[in-house]
Amino acid sequence: MADSDFQLQMQGYGLTTVMVHFWMPDHRSLLQQFLFQQYDVAPRYPRLSQFLDFWRTDIEAVLHSVSVAHNQLIGPTEWHAVDGVITIN
């Protein structure tokens, strides 16, 4: 049986890295950072949207900014033609 992460990649999911900057209500002068990775579908990011909705409703921290990086891990292969052969010794 295939790994569930591999199955997600075959369905079009890519690795998404998210960096969230936030303040806690009791430490407004301290900007904190939360970094995590998950598989998600760009450009809609349904899993990220679900996480941010949860953050807004259930966590007492105030969001400052959210940065997203996404990489489609499985895609068309890159092929380069070779014009010659190099022989060593």
pLDDT band for position 89 (cuts 50, 70, 90): low
All structural domains of the chain, each given as residue ranges with its CATH number in brackets, are: 4-71 (3.10.20)
Q: Which three-class secondary structure state does DSSP give residue 8?
A: helix
pTM for the model: 0.75
Digit-coded pLDDT (tens) for 11-20: 889 999 999 9
Largest CA distance in the chain: 70
Digit-coded pLDDT (tens) for 34-86: 999 999 999 999 999 999 999 999 999 999 999 999 998 877 666 677 777 66
